[in-house]
């Protein structure tokens, strides 16, 4: 069995590596990178954007970008103590 933790979901390992490198260059992530950063698929983030229930995002021209601090804040705001919480 391979103990290499980089074998996540197909391309997500590459996206996570990209996040690590980009974090030092820019605080902005594209949808795929942002999904890898918070453990969701890019498609899930797209759906959340349409429903208005996901992390705050920005439009840079035609490109959607997520600021790492906004992703951290959104994640922290959704922390729970019990599965009984809504």
Q: Write the DSSP assignment of 12-51 as a string of letters.
A: HHHHHHHHHHHHHH-SEE-HHHHHHHHT--HHHHHHHHHH
Residues of the chain with pLDDT > 70: what percent? 70
Q: Could you list the residue range(s) of the whole structural domain that residue 35 is in? A: 26-73
**Is 2 contained in some domain?**
no
How many domains are contained in the chain?
1
pLDDT value of position 26: 84
**Is 66 contained in some domain?**
yes
Lowest-confidence pick of 2-6, 7-11, 12-16 = 2-6
Structure confidence by residue, pLDDT tens digits, 35-62: 999 999 999 999 999 999 999 999 999 9
pTM over 0.95: no
């Amino acid at each position: 069995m391979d103990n290499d933790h980089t074998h996540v979901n197909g391309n997500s390992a590459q996206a996570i590596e990209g996040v690590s490198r980009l974090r030092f260059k820019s605080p902005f992530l594209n949808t795929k990178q942002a999904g890898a950063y918070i453990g969701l698929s890019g498609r899930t983030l797209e759906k959340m954007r349409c429903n208005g229930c996901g992390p705050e995002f920005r439009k840079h021209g035609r490109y959607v970008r997520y600021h790492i601090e906004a992703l951290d804040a959104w994640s922290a705001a959704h922390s729970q103590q019990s599965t009984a919480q809504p």
